[in-house]
């Protein structure tokens, strides 16, 4: 695995992790999400 492949793998892993964190946060902050629906929609 060369350096560019490693960088691509790290970026992909970071992106997937960010998506999981976002989904987790939205699911566990429904009260806040109701108040800030526009922010949630913009993030999605």
Mean pLDDT in each 10-residue stretch from start to end of the chain (44 residues)?
Answer: 91 92 78 60 59
Residue 43: inside a domain, yes or no? yes
Q: Give the pLDDT of residue 4.
A: 93
Give how many domains the chain has, as a whole number: 1
pTM: 0.51
Report the C-alpha gap between 30 and 9 in whole angstroms. 32
Give a yes or no: residue 44 inside a domain: yes
Range of the domain at 40: 19-44
**Could you identify the residue written with the tokens 């999981």?**
20
Confidence (pLDDT) at 28:
72
Please calculate the CA angle 19-22-27 and round it to the nearest 5 degrees.
125
Cβ atoms 26, 33 nearer than 8 A: yes
pLDDT at residue 15 in the model = 92
């Amino acid at each position: 695995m060369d350096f560019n492949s490693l960088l691509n793998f790290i970026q992909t892993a970071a992106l997937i992790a960010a998506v999981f964190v976002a989904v987790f946060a939205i699911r566990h902050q429904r009260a806040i999400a109701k108040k800030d629906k526009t922010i949630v929609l913009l993030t999605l």
